[in-house]
Structure formats: C-alpha cells, structure tokens
Chain A
Amino acid sequence: MLRRWRLCRECRVTSILLIVLGLFAGLIGALSGTGGGIIITPMLALYFGLPISQAIGTSLVAVITTSAASSSVNLQRHTTDIRLGMTLELATALGALATAYLVGYLNRTALEVLFATFLLYGAITILRKGGKTEDELDEIVPGPSSESVTLPQYAPKRYPLGMGASLVAGGLSGLLGIGGGPIKVPVMYLFMGVPLMVATATSNFMMGTTAAASAFVYFRRGDILPATAAPLAVGVFVGSLMGARLSPRVPHKWVAFLLVTLMLYLSAHMFVHIIGKFL
C-alpha cells in the first residue's frame, strides 16, 4: 500500500514537472520562433530518463500543439498561403514518414549523437547571425487584435527547390522531433520569393501536418507515451499562448542568448552522456 502510494506520488511530481517543462519550452519556443521541440527532446532524454526515440515521439505532440495554436491565429490574419503550404506538405509529410520509419531501425546512440550535433549546429548558427532568431521576421506583423494585414503581391517560384528543401525539413522533423522551420522559412523567403511574414506563417501551418505524419508512426510503435505527452502538451499550449502575448515586450537578444545557452548546455550534457556509455 505504502509502495503504491509512493509510486503514485512520483507520478504526480513527474506530471507537474512535465507541465513546467512544457510551459518553459512553449514560452521560449514562441518567443524565439523556433518551436519547443529543440528543448523538449534532450530534456526528456536527459532528465526524465526517456529513450531518445520516445523523447522524439513525445516532442512531436508538442510540435503539433504549437502549430495548431499559432496557425489558427495566422489564418485569421490571412498571412498563411494555404496553396503553397499544401504543395510543400506533400514533400515534408513524405520526408517525415520516411525518417520516422527509419528511426525504428537506428541505433539509439547514433540518434543521440545526431541530436547533440544538431543542437550544437543550431546554437552556432544563431550566434553567427548575431542573436537573430526566426521571430524577428515577425516584427511587421500586427498584434492579435488585428484581423488581417496587407500583403505585397508575390508569386512563388522555384517549386522543385522548395520541394527538395521541404523533403529535408520533413526528414529532420521525423528524425529529431522538431518543426523544421529554420530550413523552410529561409528557402521560401530567399529562393521562392515569398514574403517573410507569409513564409513564417506557412511554415507554422505545415509543421502540424509534418509532425503528424511521423507522430502516427511513433505512436503505433509505442514511442508516444500519453502519460508524458499529455502534461507536456498542456504546458506547451499555455506557454505558447503566453509567449505570443509577451513577444512584443521581450527583447529578442535576451531570448536568443537564453536559447543559445540552453542549446549549448544540453548539447554538452548529451555528449558527456554518450561518452559516459563507452567508459
């Protein structure tokens, strides 16, 4: 009886800690425009003892939550290009499905090395940009009170290139449990001639479907644990909404600094954890 009570007490504490993690990841993700997956996956693997494949699967639920919450706002503003999003989703969903399938056969340590390297690369990229994250692309978007914005005339071009990049972004999403925005947004903006505001909104719109394509595979494999995913998603949902409201008032440099510090720390911790396995 006492053992059961202790076990349940541990469940309660874990649920509360997962809500706090989700809240923090959702807040930082919304403030920096990177989504929460990049923080959630290593935190679940390192501090909650989840195998990396389960951490990735659970993180995908958080990515879908963030996408659904932010896309509904962007659609009301008419900044999302649904036709472009659906076309590129063909490639992202296919890429995500393929890599989610592969993860089941990948060595766990190889996956951890891949994630730690991606964290390090991401942190260095933000540092090289001088602390600029995707969120700064949103500076010209009016607040939630505004129903719509005036968009410049444009016509997307170089679809094959966009589809190729989307396939890679989808592949990374299925492999690492992230949204893939840092690949899709620059490609749409720089190479396809899509305005930044539209590229960001369309990338957010696509993220949910891309994550869902691989999440079903993870779910059927037993790599999404509802007991972990539910409290996490609850926190992420609240954190994302808070982040969206706080975004105009928080200095982007500070958010980028916090994100880079976290990414570097988690990457170093993951490498130490991996090395520790061989010693």
Chain B
Amino acid sequence: MSEKREPRFDHRVALVLRFGAFAAFFVMLTGVAARVLFDGALPPRIELVGVLIMLITPVVRVFVVMTLFFRGKDWRYGWISTGVLLILLLGSIYGIGEH
C-alpha cells in the first residue's frame, strides 16, 4: 500500500517544509546582512535563530506527519513516525555526544 498518495497529506507536509525553509532563509539573510553592515552582538543572535529554525524544520515535519497518520487512523505509520521523532529528540534534548 506504500504507493498510496493523498494529495492533501502531501500538500500539508510540503507547506511545513516550505514555510520552515523560507523562514530560516529570511532570518539568516537578515543576520548575514546585519553582520556585513553593522557590528555588535545582535547579528550573531539573528544568525543563530535562523540556523535553529532550519534545524527544527525536519523535526516539525516529522511531528506533522505523525499527527496526520494518527488522525487518519494509520496506526502502523503513526508509530513508525513516533519512533523517528524519538530518535530526533534523543539527539536534541539529551545531548548525546556532549563531552
């Protein structure tokens, strides 16, 4: 059943990715422009926010996919998505690799 396509499902996931990519792009662009034009502590903070938006975008995408599967009562893929989300959270929250 993997070849099954739901246009509304695809559209919603695409929207999350597009919004995340464009938001991160504009925030990072603002930070870079600020760094080129001015000095100070603000430009690095803006750049950091942009990078964080970019890093969080795939996590939000997995969360949205998981929610859509559960709402559609597609339990198998809902739990698979939960597993992917847990792996992502393991790296981000518990800081594996810190030393």
Identify the A interface with B (CB < 8 A). Answer: 4, 8, 11-12, 15-16, 19, 61, 64-65, 67-69, 71-73, 75-76, 78, 80-84, 86-87, 89-90, 93-94, 97, 100-101, 103-104, 148, 151, 153-156, 208-209, 211-221, 224, 226-227, 229-231, 233-234, 237
The SS class assigned to the A binding surface is helix
- Chain B hits for A73, CB < 8 A: 14
| Sample of 13 more A-B contacts, CB < 8 Å, known A12-B36, A101-B97 | A65-B21, A69-B17, A75-B10, A75-B13, A86-B62, A97-B91, A101-B96, A212-B59, A218-B97, A220-B95, A226-B47, A229-B47, A230-B51
Chain A nearest CB from B56 CB (Å) reads 8
- Chain B hits for A71, CB < 8 A: 14, 17
Q: Which of B2, B25, B99 contacts A156 (CB 8 A)?
A: B2
A227 to B32, CA, bound (A): 8
By the criterion CB–CB under 8 Å, are A214 and B51 in contact? no
Identify the B interface with A (CB < 8 A). Answer: 1-5, 7, 9-11, 13-15, 17-18, 20-21, 24-25, 28-29, 31-32, 35-36, 39, 44, 47-48, 50-51, 54-55, 57-59, 61-62, 65, 77, 80-81, 83-84, 87-88, 90-92, 95-99
Given known pairs A67-B58, A220-B97, the reply for A11 and B35 (CB within 8 Å) is yes
